[in-house]
Amino acid sequence: MQLEEYFNFLAPNDIRVKGTRVGIETILYDFIHRSRSPEEIVTEYPSLNLEQVYATITYYLHNKEKVSAYLVNWLETAQRRWEEQNRNPSPAIQRLRHIAAERQAAADYKP
């Protein structure tokens, strides 16, 4: 089996583990940035098996420059989306923030 056969290359910025909805960025973020072992990752994501996790790590190691650029792009996109959500929160988020502010004001109130 070729290493690439473990993945669905849906778009330049969307590579998923075949048979799952899990992107390689999820596995690699846990492995690289959270220092989780492959066994811990499998425990966290039950739709994955150990072979898929090791295949993802191996794919990264064999294509480090390309996959690192993929991860940087993913992190930058996530940051931009987070900032956009904070600038333009949905009505539900606005309501939750209002409730939280009311509760905080009530807790801070000193007659």
pLDDT, one tens digit per residue, over 28-51 is 999 999 999 999 999 999 999 999
pTM (2 d.p.): 0.75
53 three-class SS? helix
Q: What is the pLDDT of residue 52?
A: 98
The string of pLDDT tens digits covering residues 89-99 is 889 988 998 89
Indicate the residue type of 75: L
Residue 21 has pLDDT above 80, yes or no: yes
Contact 38, 48 (CB under 8 A): no
Task: State the CB neighbour count (10 A cutoff) for residue 25.
Answer: 21
Q: How far apart are CA 58 and CA 4, in angstroms?
A: 10
Contact 31, 63 (CB under 8 A): no
Query: Which CATH number does the domain 3-108 belong to among 1.10.10.10, 3.30.70.2860, 1.10.10.60, 1.10.3720.10?
Result: 1.10.10.10
